[in-house]
Amino acid sequence: MKIDVVSIFPEYLAGLQLSLIGKAVDQGLLDLSVHDLRDFTFDRHNTVDDSPYGGGAGMVMKAEPWALALEHILGGKSPETVRGEEHTVSGNSAEGEPAGNGKPILIVPSPAGPVFNQRIAEELSNADHLVFACGRYEGIDQRVIDWSAQHFDLRPMSIGDYVLNGGEVASMVMIEAVSRLIPGVIGNPESLTEESHEDGLLEYPIYTKPASWRDRDVPEILLSGNHGAIARWRRDWRLERTAEIRPDLLAELHDLDKHDRSVLDRFESGDESVKE
Ligand code: 6GU
């Protein structure tokens, strides 16, 4: 997968060179490029923002540097070449055509977008080319967002109901969630299947040695060697924890069997809990 990120703080994204994502880049599983938006400005001060038409607080990111940066990503031309040219992108130049079918996906991190989740991460992990446009200030001139929809599959995306200063951290969150789903990025793919959110339930608690620590014992069933009973205990735990902490997730599950239902009924009536 190819991932491009555009930001006025490219150093922010340096963290992506670490750990599993960095290794995936080294192994060629991920082709990650971070672009400095200021490389696509002409003036002495490398201006990327200006005051909003109609008034209001804060500054707005100017359209042209964004268009040049995105054209650079589409066409593979250097910022220097882009600056010297008439700024049009031919829709079907061999160079500009993204790998795979369809347009590259342009993710514009914004608290005004739909909320990113594991389903979206899975969907995006199948894409050939993702581009992240990290805005700062009050946001980006709407015209370049509208313009970009001709060349990209445009996806505004929030990471939750709170406000960040810019799209960098949000992009890193999404890049990490997406790239760990690409085959080969995670050493043990089995660890993907039993995670929180993977099947809509939160995780069961985990323990390691010693069996007794500061007067706290590992739940006995985990020492029993009875794998069927352990699997059932873990599932019951996940159902209860999800009912307790994230009832909104539970409401979306449609593949609960009779035993699952009985565990939840018992829990909701306050009768009994596997967690005690
Ligand atoms: Cl994606 N961007 C910003 N600036 N703030 C956010 C966000 C994104 N998601 C939640 N808050």
CA 171 – ligand 1 centroid, Å: 9
pLDDT at 102: 87
Question: Is the CB of 164 inside a 6 Å radius of any atom of ligand 1?
Answer: yes
- N-term to C-term CA, the chain: 45
Ligand 1 pocket: which of 7, 164, 165, 171 to mutate (most atoms <8 Å of CB)? 164
Q: Assess whether pLDDT exceeds 60 at residue 97.
A: no
pLDDT in tens, 36-61: 999 999 999 999 999 999 999 999 99
Q: Quickly state the pLDDT bin for 86 (edges 50, 70, 90).
A: low
pLDDT at 270: 87
CA 95 – ligand 1 centroid, Å: 32
CA 65 – ligand 1 centroid, Å: 21
Query: Which residue type is seen at 266?
Result: R
Q: Which residue has the tokens 């005690």?
A: 276
pLDDT in tens, 200-257: 999 999 999 999 999 999 999 999 999 999 999 999 999 999 999 999 999 999 889 9
Q: Assess whether pLDDT exceeds 80 at residue 101.
A: no
Q: What angle do CA 67, 64, 1 make, to 5 degrees?
A: 25
Q: Which atom of ligand 1 is nearest to the CA of 161?
A: 10
pLDDT in tens, 167-204: 999 999 999 999 999 999 998 878 787 787 878 999 99
Percent of the chain predicted with pLDDT > 70:
92
Q: Assess whether pLDDT exceeds 70 at residue 90.
A: no
CA 160 – ligand 1 centroid, Å: 7
Ligand 1 pocket: which of 124, 159, 172 to mutate (most atoms <8 Å of CB)? 159
CA 265 – ligand 1 centroid, Å: 37
Comparing 10 with 95, the larger pLDDT belongs to 10
- Residue 192 DSSP code: G
Q: How far apart are CA 128 and CA 24, in angstroms?
A: 15
CA 174 – ligand 1 centroid, Å: 11
Minimum CA distance residue for ligand 1 atom 6: 111
Question: Is the CB of 170 inside a 6 Å radius of any atom of ligand 1?
Answer: yes
Q: Which atom of ligand 1 is nearest to the CA of 135?
A: 4
Contacts 24+ apart (CB under 8 A), 233-237: 233/204, 233/274, 234/204, 235/201, 235/204, 235/260, 235/263, 236/263, 236/274, 237/204, 237/205, 237/274, 237/275
pLDDT in tens, 227-239: 999 999 999 999 9
CA 201 – ligand 1 centroid, Å: 25
Q: How far apart are CA 53 and CA 148, in angstroms?
A: 21
Q: pTM here?
A: 0.89
